[in-house]
Structure 1
Amino acid sequence: MVEHKIDFRIYYEDTDAGGVVYHARYLGLAERARTEAIRAQGRSASDLLGEYGLAFVVRHAAIDYRAPLRLDDVVRITTRLTELGAASCRLWQDFHRVGNEGGPGCGTLDVRLACVRAADGRAARFPPPWRDLLRALVA
């Protein structure tokens, strides 16, 4: 299975008053990591919208927080595609503080994405080139 890894620094805007990453920021960081995983395959989410009028939407997300990320930490997010359907996919994302990759992680995200028509929000099958792109992330 192909994994995509990317690092992000934690900035003040990501934290609460105590310098700990605010829980909802994990979703934003995960979104960036998924976007970059697709970009690493040679496409972008804007291509899907521009060429086909389709978009990815989050259908389900479950986060398991294990250890806090803090101001100035560098977090490595590993993204793996675990399931691919006709109009949906499921990804697993791990959050680790850089320098502690072998130790306990900071959290995990189990996310399911749906492919929808941007015009009306109805489910749509992935176009063949996008199925191939996503399939390459699983193989």
Structure 2
Amino acid sequence: MTGAHRLAIRVYYEDTDAGGIVYHANYLRFAERARTEWLRARGFDHPVLLERFGVLFTVRRCDAVFLAPARLDDEILVETVPQGIEGARIRLGQRVLKGERELVTLALELVLVNRAMRPVRAPPPLRAILSAPAGS
């Protein structure tokens, strides 16, 4: 995933289980933070999306593959890359890395919804950044 947005995260005690290994559900939290920062880096944040465009992101599907553990005090990176947009559906790929070692891969399908929780197409400015090649 070259040109991906990267977010560095330090693993804290609260992120781990009794063995000092990151608890599996916390990778979803890390991925959520990375998606939020990816959007913010492109001039959008969740309050702006709701106030200006009346849309929210919802996760429809998340497929995670756990390859290796992260441990207490590790510095990890979460990469985020848009992979496509069709109507209200957005596909993203994410990877959690320690150095160059892949720890977790995630394939996500998000759906844009309005305040009534009905699927809606992405507004043109948002569609432009979701359709942009990685790294732009």
Q: Do both share a fold (TM > 0.5)? A: yes
Size of the alignment, in residue pairs?
134
How much has 1:2 moved relative to structure 2?
Answer: 4.2
How much has 1:137 moved relative to structure 2?
Answer: 4.6
Distance 1:37 1:67 in 2: 24
Superposed, 1:116-131 pairs within 5 Å as: 116-118=113-115, 120-131=116-127
Q: Which runs of 5+ in 2 are unaligned?
A: none
Q: Which runs of 4+ in 1 moved over 6 A?
A: none
Superposed, 1:92-103 pairs within 5 Å as: 92-97=93-98, 100-101=99-100
Q: Which of the numbers 113, 131, 135 marks the counterpart of 1:135?
A: 131
Corresponding residue for 1:112? 109
Distance 1:130 1:2 in 2: 19
TM-score scaled to structure 1, two decimals?
0.90
Q: Give secondary structure in 1 for the equivalent of 2:132.
A: helix
RMSD: 1.4
CA contact (8 A) 2:84 2:131 kept: no
Q: Give secondary structure in 1 for the equivalent of 2:32.
A: helix
Question: In percent, how many aligned pairs have the same letter?
Answer: 43
Q: Give secondary structure in 1 for the equivalent of 2:43.
A: coil
Distance 1:36 1:81 in 2: 13
